[in-house]
Amino acid sequence: MAQYAAYASNMDPEQMAGRAPHSPMRGTGWLAGWRLTFGGQDKGWDGALATVVEDDSEQVFVVIYDVPDWDEKELDAWEGAALNVYRKIRVRVQTLDGDALCWMYVLDDYEGGLPSARYLGILADAAEKAGAPDDYVKDLRTRPCKSLGD
């Protein structure tokens, strides 16, 4: 069974249960050598969308799920893979049990733009529910965001 690494709103186990009901949470880990950023401002419903980019000095908290093929197709629809919003890549995630080879979605667009405060709140809430460290959640909650008039 394939393993999926979620770094955005799919970190929330309740949301994933609705989107991919046959995909249990396996655990959490860190995507070392990558950083969370935002891009595709024109594709988002209210600002830039979350993605990850390579950066040797950073790491991203992720939640790992075991995803069967039929749930993967549902996630592809949710994440806009067929619309070329996100594409899939394979990454190595560091866990307490060793490295895990996972797939994840990355934005198929340029980095840049600001997410909305609402979207950042969703990401921070998802990270908190998944057990992310307090400083990681705080960093999400205090990131720059798009103001209402933008």
Q: Which residues are catalytic?
A: 79
Query: What is the distance between the alpha carbons of residues 95 and 64, in angstroms, rounded to a whole number?
Result: 10
Query: What is the distance between the alpha carbons of residues 35 and 58, in angstroms, rounded to a whole number?
Result: 5
Buried-state track 87-126, b at ≥16 Cβ within 10 A, e below 16: eeeebebeeeeeebebebbbbbbeeebbbbbebbebbbbb
Residue 147 marked ligand-binding: no
* Residue 86 CB neighbours (<10 A): 25
Residue 110 marked ligand-binding: no
Q: Which residue has the tokens 């749930």?
A: 71
> With contact defined as beta carbons under 8 Å apart, do 59 and 32 qualify?
yes
Residue 130 marked ligand-binding: no
Query: What is the distance between the alpha carbons of residues 100 and 48, in angstroms, rounded to a whole number?
Result: 29
Residue 119 marked ligand-binding: yes
Residue 86 marked ligand-binding: no
Residue 20 marked ligand-binding: no
Residue 8 marked ligand-binding: yes
Q: Residues forming the annotated binding site for substrate?
A: 4-9, 119
